[in-house]
Structure 1
Amino acid sequence: SRGEIEKLLSLGVEPYRMSFGNTIKKLEDIKFAYDHGIRMFAVDSEMELEKIAMVAPGSDIYVRISTNGMEDDADWPLTRKFGTSVSHAIELVKYSKTLGLNPIGLSFHVGSQNYNPENWRTAIREASVVFEEAKQFGINMSMINTGGGMPVRYVKDIPTVEQIAKVINEAVEEYLGDNITVIVEPGRSMVGNAGIMITKVILRSKKSEENWLYLDAGVFHGLTETIQNIRYRITVDGKEDEELDTFVLAGPTCDSVDVMYYDAQLPKSTTLGDIVYFHTAGAYTTEYGTNFNGIDSPKIVVVNGILSDEEFEAKIPEIVEVESETSKE
C-alpha cells in the first residue's frame, strides 16, 4: 500500500528493492509509487495493466496466478480475491507488451499457513506453462515470486522454512531453469513467535450448557484471524497444569461477531481477573487492532534482547507486573 511504501522510504529502503504487490491499487497510489522510483507492479486484470501504463509507463509487471486446490492445506485461502488462471495470465503477459510495459514474471500465494511444501512445487510447475508460452511470443521472463504461506507453529506441527525452500529451489531448477530471480515473502514465519498477546478475563457466564469467558481484547483488538481458522495456543497464568474444559471465548465489544473460539480448551477454574495468553501472536495482531466500540487495543511492550521462546514466556509475569504498576500511575 502507499502507507507501507511511505514507511519503507522513511526507513531508508531504496525504491528498487520494493514491489507494489497488491493487485488492487488506486491510480494515484500507482503514480505515487512510480514518482518515488518504484518500477515493479503486480497485476491480475486488464484494467490494472491499463492503469499502470497510464501513470507508470514502461514499468515492470508480474502477473499473479491463482492456486486453486493448493489452498486445501492452508488455514487461510487467498485465491478467490487475488490471482487469475494460467490461460488468462498468458493473455495478460501478451497484453502488457502492447501497452509498453515490461512483463518480468509471475507470482502466486499458496494460502496463509500452508502445511504442505509440495504445493509450492505444484504452483511453480503451473507457472512454468506461462513462462514457456510467453517465449513463443518473444517474451523471456526471469522472475518468480513464490509469495507467503510459510507457516509458524501455533498448535499444529509445521514444515521448516528450510524444507519449503528446498522444494522451491528444486522446482525452479526443474521447471524454470537458470537465470531466474526468486522472490519469497516469509512474513508470518519470521515474526509470528516474536509476540504474545496478554489479555484478562472480565466476565465468566453460562448460556444454556455453554461456558463463556469474555476477555478485555477480542476480534477487533488484534485477534481478527481467529475468525478465519487461525488457532493460537492459549494458556492461563498460574493454571497451566489444571484440568481443561470447553469454553466459548469472546471479546468485550457489543458486536456478536466478537467471538474468537466456540471450543477453546482452558482450565476449568478460569474466571474473573485471570490472565490469558495468546502465544505466537507476533503476526497480524497489532496491524489488525482497532479502537472499535471505544475500547482500546492492547499496548505494545517491547522486550529488549533476543530471547528463545522459553525465555520469552518466562519473562511474561514480569512484563504483566510492570505494566500493571504503570497503569496505576
Structure 2
Amino acid sequence: MELTELIRSAAKKLETPFLVIDTNYVKENYSKLRNSIKNVEIFYAVKANSHISILETLRDLGSSFDVASKGEIIKLMDLGISTKKISFGNTIKKEVDIKFAWDNGVEYFAIDSEMEVEKIARNAPGAKVYGRLSMSSNDSDWPLSGKFGTDADHLIEILKYAKRKGLKPYGVSFHVGSQSYNKYKWKEAILNASEVFEKLHKEKIDLKMLNLGGGIPVKHTKPVPEVEEIGEIINESINEYLGWVKGLRVLSEPGRSMVGNAGIIASRVLLRSRKGTQNWVFLDTGVFHGLMETIENFRYEIMVEGKENAETINMTLAGPTCDSVDTIYDEVELPINIEYNDIVYIMNTGAYTSEYATNFNGIEPIKVYTITELEKLIQDEYVLVEEKI
C-alpha cells in the first residue's frame, strides 16, 4: 500500500496507533488471483482481517469465505452472505459450532483426524468433508506444519472412515505455509494431493475438490514470487497430476495475500533509551496490540516520517506494555536520529494485525480506519495527538 499524503497528514493529526485500510487493494488482489488460477473459486480466510469493509467488498465481488468459528459464520450471515458460500476450514471445531453451521446451511467441513469425523457425523450428517494434507513449510515465514493436516496414507484412511460414518468425502486441502517464498511448493503439494485422489478412486471414492489453501506472499523486506507466477505453476500442476479428474473444483483460501498490502499502521515513538550498549526504541503499539507475528521474527518494512534517507544503526524495537515478550525486533535498522514522538509507519500490515490486537495492560486495541473514514476525520479535525493539544 502506498504511503499517501492523506495517511501522513492523518498520522500527524490523529491519535496513534491506528491501521488504515484501502479496499481498492483488496479488489485488485481479488482480480489478480481470479485471473491467475484457472476456474478458481476464492474462499477468503476471514481470520486474516474481518473488518466489515473488507468482508463487504469481497461479498460484492462474489467471493466465498473460509471460516474458523461460529462467530465468523454469524458475522458473515449478518452481512447477508449465503452460508452456501461458506466453508468451515478449521480442523479443530466445537460440536456446537458444527451443529450451528450445518443447521444454517454450511455444507463443507475440513478434517484431519478420526475424532473430527465422528464429531461432524454426529452433528452434520451427510456433510461434505475435505481432508487436509500436512506440508513441509520451511520456505515460509509462518510455518503451519505440525498442528494441521496429516500424511497422505493417513488422510486416505480418514476419508474412507468418513464415508463409513455417512459423510461425503469431497476433496483434499493443504497449506504450503503462510508467506511462502517458493512457488514450487504448490507443485509439490498438488502432486501429494493427487496420490490421495488416485488411491481413493481405485476404491470407488471419487473426490471432486482441490483446496489450494493460502500461502501466497505479500511484499515486505524480501523478494517474493508474484501471484501470476504461482498461478502458472498451479495451473500446470493441476493439468499434469489431476487433469484426469472430471469436473474438478479448484478452491483457494487467500488471507494474507488478499489484505496484507491493503493496510498501513501509523505509530509513534514513546521512548528512546540505552541499555548497556544497545539502543532501544519503544512504540505506542507492539506485540499485544497488532504486531503479534513479529514474535516469530516476521519482518515488516518500517519507515520513519521525514527520516527515510537518514543514516541508520542497529536498535531494539519494542512495544509499550509491561511484558518483555512485547519486543518487536531484537535487531532492526532504524534512523540514528530517531526520537520521541516521531511517526513510524509499519508497511503492508493489513493482515493479522488488528485481528490479533488485545487490550492487555488496559491499552486499547489498535484503531482501524478505512480511507474514507480517514478523509472525514481529517476534514472534521478529529482528536489531535495528545502531546500537541
TM-score category, normalised to shorter length: over 0.9
Does the aligned pair in 2 maintain the 1:76–1:229 contact within 8 Å?
no
Tell me the residue number matched to 1:23.
Answer: 91
Equivalent-residue separation in structure 2 for 1:284 and 1:268 (angstroms): 29
* Deviation readout 1:125-169 (Å, 9 max, x if unpaired): 011111011012110001010100000001111111111111111
Does the C-alpha gap of structure 1 residues 223 and 323 become closer, same or farther in structure 2, counting only changes over 3 Å? farther
Q: Deviations over 1:303-323 (max 9, x none)?
A: 139xxxxxx9xx9xx96x956
Deviation at 1:301, TM superposition (A): 2.0
Question: Distance in 1 between the 2:75 and 2:296 partners?
Answer: 28
Cα separation, partners in 2 of 1:190 and 1:322, compared to 1, 3 Å? farther
Say if 2:77 is the partner of 1:12: no
Structure 2 counterpart of 1:51, from 112, 119, 127: 119
- 1:325 is matched with 384
What is the alpha-carbon distance in structure 2 between the residues aligned to residue 277 and residue 21 of structure 1?
33
Query: Where does residue 22 of structure 2 map in the other structure?
Result: none
Shift in alpha-carbon separation, 1:254–1:326, aligned structure 2, 3 A: closer
Which of 195, 198, 215 is equivalent to 2:263? 195
Distance 1:183 1:247 in 2: 43
1:299 equivalent in alignment to 2:367: yes
Partner secondary structure for residue 197 of structure 1 = strand
Pairwise CA RMSD of aligned residues?
A: 2.0
Paired residue for 1:106?
Answer: 172
Gaps of 5+ in 2: 1-68
Match of 1:127 among 193, 199, 203: 193
Contact conserved, 2:163 with 2:169, CA < 8 A, in 1?
yes
Q: Identity over aligned residues, as a percent?
A: 53
Residue 15 of structure 1 deviates from its aligned partner by 1.1
Query: What secondary structure is seen at the aligned counterpart in 2 of 1:260?
Result: strand
Q: Does 1:285 align with 2:344?
A: no
Q: Which residue is 1:183 aligned to?
A: 251
- Cα distance 1:172–1:322, how it changes in 2: closer, same or farther (>3 A)? farther
Structure 2: distance between partners of 1:138 and 1:57: 21
Q: 1:241 to 1:254 in 2, by over 3 A?
A: same
Contact in 1 for aligned 2:110/2:129 (Cα 8 Å): yes
Opposite residue 360 of structure 2, the aligned amino acid is: F
TM-score, normalised with respect to structure 2: 0.78
The correspondence for 1:97, drawn from 159, 163, 167, is: 163
String of CA shifts for 1:231-256, please: whole Å, max 9, x gaps.
11001111111100111000011111
Residue in 2 that maps onto 1:221: 289
Unaligned runs of 5+ in 1: 306-311
- Following superposition, the deviation at residue 324 of structure 1 comes to 5.0
* Equivalent in 75, 83, 87 of residue 153 of structure 2: 87
* Higher mean C-alpha displacement, 210-219 vs 166-175: 166-175
Show the counterpart of 2:106.
38
Higher relative contact order (CA 8 A, sep 6+): 2
Is the 8 Å Cα contact of residues 176 and 214 (structure 2) preserved in structure 1? yes
> 2:220 aligns to what?
154
